[in-house]
């Protein structure tokens, strides 16, 4: 195949929300833009599989600390920008994007940290003067859980809307196409390299395109088009992904707004989101991964957990609805756990990725940062490339991780008697610390356990050891997870 070099001001790689939003913003500013992505869409696209909740507060967990405040404030600022941005987009594209108005957050006994999360949302809403009101379960339209899953707390967030992600992507593409300087290339990118005066992109079909600026605004694999030494020079972090499975159904009960739980057990909360044409979106699972091929497709267990939790915890009549489509996508997660946005140390190279579950919400501000950076305008960017936010101490990671492991093991519909779930968490956390941390206390405990098993070589010894290890954990300050108990 012959190769043709076409020149433009900017090449944007990616047809998801950040790629299209960046292309649109650049075209708005009068630049010539070549957007490279398959027109048929990507069946593994995080944007197409997303619930598209504009949930600045809904993403809060009780574990968030001040290190997460920059991202929270960015989400809030983008949420406030959304009505104007979406209105201008629809006017330019002459299309409509379906919106669900408002959200309800529910906390029940299935999420060990639900109550901490929902109370934190209310505190932050008050801090930033956002609407939030405690309501009774009976006041939540469309909420009809099973008898044992009634929520203990419900929070109304009337400013947390949702959009139809498919319609939104189509509207952005149509708006960008209204500018004469925008070109779409129906292909995927195989490689990108620096060239004299700019960047050259080679597609999978062998065509090449040149531009002064290159924007990598795809998902978790977008950096793969760069050689390893180029990635290092640009200070780009390693990328991982959270695979999420979601579903569209027809004939579900009328639910006019989002209903969701707080984030729980390594995933976003379970949620239902109204879509156009009477469809209802059900979401979503999450599985951290590094190998896209190994995680391709959907497991029966993933779909079973999703349906089981939504039917029992949100509305039992959803079981009677008809499946229209099941999707999955790879949400991009940088090793830094923070979005990676803006210009890099390599001239002409910018990136926009790593927004995890918040790409659609953050899109207006991210696109602005990309366009203003290329135009050399002043940019306020808390996610500058190369910045390394403070990581979570490994001790804290183990505490949260073991707690969520126990929550994950309980799904779906799992429960343990008495306060045994909390005992099991302390027991598991102690064993995890013994295996990972080089600490004198753990060495002493390991020796005591070994000696006990020698002195009393009976399997019944394990029962006694279980309670002794739990007691040791309590004495050294591993707190009870009070939210694991009935309210």
DSSP secondary structure string for all residues of 217-244: --STTGGGGS-HHHHHHTTPPPEEEEEE
Let me know if 438 is exposed, middle or buried by CB neighbors in 10 A (0-12, 13-18, 19+).
exposed
Confidence (pLDDT) at 2: 44
Q: What is the mean pLDDT of the chain?
A: 89
Please state which of the ranges 261-265, 455-459, 475-479 shows the lowest mean pLDDT: 475-479
Q: What is the DSSP letter of 299?
A: -
Confidence (pLDDT) at 483: 43
Helices 17-28, 359-374: axis angle to 10 degrees equals 40
Q: Is 0.75 topped by the overall pTM?
A: yes
Categorize the per-residue pLDDT at 234 as very low, low, confident or very high, splitting at 50, 70 and 90: very high
Taking residues 173-189, report their average pLDDT: 95
Helices 440-455, 420-436: axis angle to 10 degrees equals 110
- Half-sphere exposure at residue 267, Cβ-oriented, CA atoms within 13 angstroms: 24
* Residue 487 pLDDT > 50: no
**C-alpha gyration radius of the chain:** 24
The segment with the largest mean pLDDT, out of 33-47, 233-247, 254-268, 446-460, is 233-247
Q: Is the peptide bond before 284 cis (omega within 30 degrees of 0)?
A: yes
Q: Check: CB of residue 313 under 8 Å from CB of residue 412.
A: no
- Half-sphere exposure at residue 211, Cβ-oriented, CA atoms within 13 angstroms: 25
* Residue 391 pLDDT > 70: no
Confidence (pLDDT) at 151: 94
Let me know if 66 is exposed, middle or buried by CB neighbors in 10 A (0-12, 13-18, 19+).
exposed
* Residue 148 pLDDT > 70: yes
CA distance 118 to 174: 38
CA distance 260 to 228: 40
Categorize the per-residue pLDDT at 215 as very low, low, confident or very high, splitting at 50, 70 and 90: very high
Name the residue among 282, 299, 327, 323 with its Cα closest to residue 142: 282
- Two structure tokens written together for 181: 């300087």
Categorize the per-residue pLDDT at 288 as very low, low, confident or very high, splitting at 50, 70 and 90: confident
Cα of 169 vs its chain's centroid, Å: 18
Taking residues 315-332, report their average pLDDT: 96
CA distance 119 to 111: 14
Q: What is the DSSP letter of 376?
A: T
């Amino acid at each position: 195949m012959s190769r043709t070099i076409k020149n433009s001001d900017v090449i944007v790689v990616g047809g998801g929300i950040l790629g299209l939003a960046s292309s649109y913003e650049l075209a708005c500013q009068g630049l010539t833009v070549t957007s490279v992505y398959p027109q048929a869409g990507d069946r593994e696209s995080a944007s197409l599989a997303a619930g598209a909740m504009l949930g600045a507060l809904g993403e809060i967990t009780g574990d968030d600390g001040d290190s997460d405040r920059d991202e929270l404030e960015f989400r809030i600022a983008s949420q406030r920008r959304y009505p104007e941005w979406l209105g201008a987009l629809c006017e330019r594209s002459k299309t409509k994007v379906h919106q669900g108005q408002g959200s309800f957050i529910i906390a029940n006994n299935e999420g060990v940290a639900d109550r901490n999360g929902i109370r934190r949302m209310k505190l932050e809403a008050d801090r930033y003067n956002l609407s939030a009101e405690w309501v009774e379960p009976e006041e939540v339209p469309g909420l009809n859980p099973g008898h044992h899953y009634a929520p203990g707390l419900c929070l109304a967030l009337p400013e947390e809307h949702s959009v139809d992600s498919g319609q939104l992507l189509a509207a952005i593409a149509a708006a960008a196409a209204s500018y004469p300087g925008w070109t779409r290339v129906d292909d995927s990118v195989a490689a990108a390299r620096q060239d004299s005066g700019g960047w050259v992109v080679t597609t999978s079909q062998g065509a090449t395109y040149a531009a002064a600026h290159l924007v990598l605004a795809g998902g978790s694999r977008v950096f793969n088009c760069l050689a390893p030494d180029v990635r290092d020079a640009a200070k780009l972090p390693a990328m991982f992904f959270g695979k999420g499975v979601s579903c569209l159904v027809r004939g579900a009960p009328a639910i006019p707004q989002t209903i969701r739980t707080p984030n729980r057990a390594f995933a976003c909360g379970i949620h239902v989101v109204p879509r156009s044409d009477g469809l209802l979106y059900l979401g979503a699972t999450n599985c951290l991964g590094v190998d896209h091929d190994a995680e391709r497709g959907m497991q029966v267990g993933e779909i079973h957990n999703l349906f089981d939790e939504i039917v029992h915890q949100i509305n039992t009549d959803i079981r009677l609805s008809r499946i229209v489509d099941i999707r999955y996508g790879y949400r991009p997660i940088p090793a830094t756990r923070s979005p990676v946005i803006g210009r890099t140390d390599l001239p002409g190279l910018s990136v926009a990725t790593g927004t995890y579950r918040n790409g659609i919400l953050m899109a207006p501000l991210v696109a602005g940062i990309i366009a203003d950076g290329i135009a050399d305008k002043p940019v306020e960017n808390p996610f500058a490339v190369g910045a390394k936010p403070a990581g979570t101490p490994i001790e804290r990671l183990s505490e949260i991780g073991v707690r969520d492991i126990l929550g994950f093991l309980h799904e779906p519909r799992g429960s343990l008697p008495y306060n045994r779930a909390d005992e099991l968490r302390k027991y598991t956390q102690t064993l995890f610390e013994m295996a990972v941390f080089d600490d004198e206390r753990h060495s002493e405990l390991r020796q005591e356990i070994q000696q006990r098993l020698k002195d009393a070589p009976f399997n019944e010894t394990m029962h006694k050891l279980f309670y002794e290890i739990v007691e040791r954990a309590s004495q050294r300050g591993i707190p009870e997870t009070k939210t694991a108990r009935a309210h």
